[in-house]
Amino acid sequence: MKDFLEMRNIVKRFPGVVANNRVNLTIRAGEIHALLGENGAGKSTLMQILYGFHSMDSGEIRMDGKQIRLDSPKDAIALGIGMVHQEFMLVRPFTVVENTVLGMREGRGPLLDLEQASRKLQELSNRHGLALDPAARVGSLPIGVQQRVEILKLLYRDASLLILDEPTAVLTPQEKDQLFAILRKLKQDGRSVVIVTHKLKEIMECADRVTVMRDGQVVATREVRETSEHELTRLMVGRDVNLRAIKPERKPGAAVLQVKDLRVEDESGREKVCGLSLEVHAGEILGVAGVDGNGQSELAEALLHLRRIEGGQVIVNGADVTSRSVAEHRAGGISYVPADRRRVGSVPEMSVADNAILGQQRKYVRGLFRDLDEARKSAEKLTARFGIRGSGIDQGAGKLSGGNLQKLILGREILRGSAVLVVEQPTRGLDVGAVESVWQELIRARQEGKAILLISAELDELLNLADRIAVMFEGRIMGIVDAVAASVEVIGLMMAGIRPAGAANTGATMKEAPSGETV
Ligand SMILES: Nc1ncnc2c1ncn2[C@@H]1O[C@H](COP(=O)(O)OP(=O)(O)OP(=O)(O)O)[C@@H](O)[C@H]1O
Ligand SMILES: [Mg+2]
C-alpha cells in the first residue's frame, strides 16, 4: 500500500502548551489508521490541522507526494479530506439533507439543490448501506444515526480521507458494529480512515495500523497485527494499567436515595420513565445498565430537578424532595455528573478555576468578597488530584481536551461532599489511565459512605464498580442483579428487553432478579 498522506514535523502551540511537537504521521490509501493517546496528548489538534481547522506553526503536509495548503476546512474538503468531530456539528432543527448541503453550493436555486441532494443522498446511503431518511430532522434522530449523517455528509463531498474523532464513544454495541462495517466498506473502496479512539479492543478489531501519541509527540506507529492491547497501553501511559477494580467489602447503610413510582416525560410529552422505583444505600454503588435512550438520562435529570417529575416521589435522607427547587435540592446533598458535559456540566467560556467551584461559589465568600485565594487553592487541588492536564487553572474550560473537561466536572462533583452522587457515563472519552483513576475515585466515594447511582452503557464498568445492577429498558427496570453473581449474557438479554427464564414477570415493579436475589 502506498502512502497517501503525509504529515511531517507538525508543530502547534497554544498559549502555555505545545499540543503537537514535531509530529510525523503517514496515512496509506485504503487503510484504517487508529490514533491513540492519553487525554490531552494532542490527537484532536493534529486532526483539526489536517482538516484545516487549526493552522500549524510549522511543518508540512503532503498528499500523493505533493505539498498541500490547508488554510480552512474548505481547502480540506476540496482536497477530499473530511472530518466528523468529537462533538457533532450538525444543526439540530435542520433535516438530514439540509445538513448535508449546508455550506455547499450546487445547482442554481436553493430548492433545486435540496431535491437533487436528496436523490444523491438516497443513492449514497443505499450504496454504502447507511439507512437514512433525508427528510428526517436531525435533532430527533438517535446519536448513532446522527453520526451516520455526518459520515454521509463526507461521502456526499466524495472525501477520500475520513477522520473520525472518537466515533464510538456514544454508540451502542450494535451501532458500533454497524459503523465498523461501514468503515471496512470505505476501505475496500480505496478510501482512508483515521479513527481516534481510547478503546484498545476497537483498535484491535478494526484498524490496520495504529499511531500512539503522548504529550504532543508520536511515540510509535505499529501494524495492528503485530501489537497487543498490553503493548499499546504501555506505549501510551508508560506503565501497566489495571482495569480490574478492587472493591473492599461493602457495608451498606440506610437507604439514602429512594425513588418511588417515578414518571418522567421527554420534550414531546412521551413517557420516558414509566413508574420506576429503586433505592440506593449509603456506601453502595447501584449501577444502571441499558442501551442509551431507554430513559436513563431522563431519570438522572428528574432526580436533579432538571426535568419535571410527572408522578412519584424522590426521597433523600428520609425527606421528600420531589417538589423542591433545583438550588435547594442541590444544597440538600445531591451531586450530578451529566453525560453531556459541554452543554450541561460546565461553562466553557469560564476558566478552569471558576468551573471547579461552579455551584459552590457561596462557599468561597468572605464578607462582601469572594475568597479568591481559597477558591484558587481548591481548584489547584482538584486539578492535581484528578490529573487534569491543560495549561493551568486560568485556561478557559472550553479549551481543555475532551477527556480533561470530563475529569474536571467529575472531580468537582465528587469533592462536593453530597450524600448522593448521580453519575452518567463517567468514563466516556477517557483514556485507560484516567478510567482507572476515576474508578478508584468512585470506589473511594463509596467507602466514604456516599450513595452512588452509576448510569453507564459500559457493562465492564458496571461489573467492576457496582454492587447491584439495575437494567433499564424502555423506561422500566427489567430486573436488579447482584453484580458478583451477574452474567453478561443475562444483563445483555434484559438490556434488549428480554426477561430471562426463571425471572418473575411482574412488570415495572419486578421483584425477583435472575440471580434469585430479592430486591
Ligand atoms: N483551542 C485551544 N486553545 C488552547 N489550548 C488548546 C486548544 N485546543 C486544545 N488545547 C490544548 O492542547 C492540548 C491537546 O489537546 P487535544 O484536544 O488535541 O487533546 P486530545 O489528545 O484530543 O485529548 P482527548 O483524548 O481528551 O480528546 C491540551 O493540553 C489542550 O488543553
Ligand atoms: Mg480529543
Q: Which ligand is nearest to the CA of 35?
A: 1
pLDDT 10s digits, 417-448: 889 999 999 988 888 888 888 898 899 999 99
pLDDT for position 513? 38
Return the best residue to mutate from 391, 401, 404, 405 for the ligand 1 pocket (most ligand atoms within 8 A of CB). Answer: 401
Ligand 1 atom 28 nearest Cα? 40
**Distance between CA 511 and CA 519 in Å, rounded?**
6
Q: Which ligand is nearest to the CA of 45?
A: 1
Biggest CA–CA distance in the chain, Å, is 70
Return the best residue to mutate from 399, 406, 410, 431 for the ligand 1 pocket (most ligand atoms within 8 A of CB). Answer: 399
pLDDT for position 160? 95
Three-state secondary structure call for residue 321 = coil
Q: How far is CA 97 from the centre of its chain?
A: 26
The set of cell numbers assigned to 56 is 500549524
Residues 6+ apart with CB under 8 A from 325: 305
H/E element, 230: helix 229-237
Contact 353, 411 (CB under 8 A): no
Q: 31 CA to middle of ligand 1, Å?
A: 26
What does DSSP say about strands 334-337 and 420-424: parallel, antiparallel, or unpaired?
Answer: parallel
> What helix, strand, coil percent values describe the chain, rounded to 5?
35, 25, 35
Q: Which residues of the chain have pLDDT under 50?
A: 106-107, 504-519
pLDDT for position 410? 87
Return the best residue to mutate from 25, 45, 194 for the ligand 1 pocket (most ligand atoms within 8 A of CB). Answer: 45
pLDDT for position 471? 95
Establish whether residue 403 lines the binding site of ligand 1, counting it when its CB lies within 6 angstroms of any ligand atom.
Answer: yes
Residue ranges of alpha helices (H) inside 296-424 are 296-303, 326-331, 352-356, 372-385, 402-415
Contact 2, 179 (CB under 8 A): no
Torsion of CA 496, 501, 506, 512, to 10 degrees: -100
Ligand 1 atom 12 nearest Cα? 19
Number of C-beta neighbours around residue 353 at 10 A = 21
Residues 6+ apart with CB under 8 A from 35: 25, 43, 46, 47, 194, 195, 196, 197, 210, 211, 213
Whether 255-333+417-509 and 3-237 are alike in CATH topology: the answer is yes
Three-state secondary structure call for residue 207 = coil
**Distance between CA 325 and CA 7 in Å, rounded?**
53
Establish whether residue 513 lines the binding site of ligand 1, counting it when its CB lies within 6 angstroms of any ligand atom.
Answer: no
Assigned fold of 3-237: Rossmann fold (3.40.50)
255-333+417-509 is classed in which CATH architecture? 3-Layer(aba) Sandwich (3.40)
Torsion of CA 231, 202, 299, 511, to 10 degrees: -90
Annotated domain spans of the chain: 3-237, 255-333+417-509
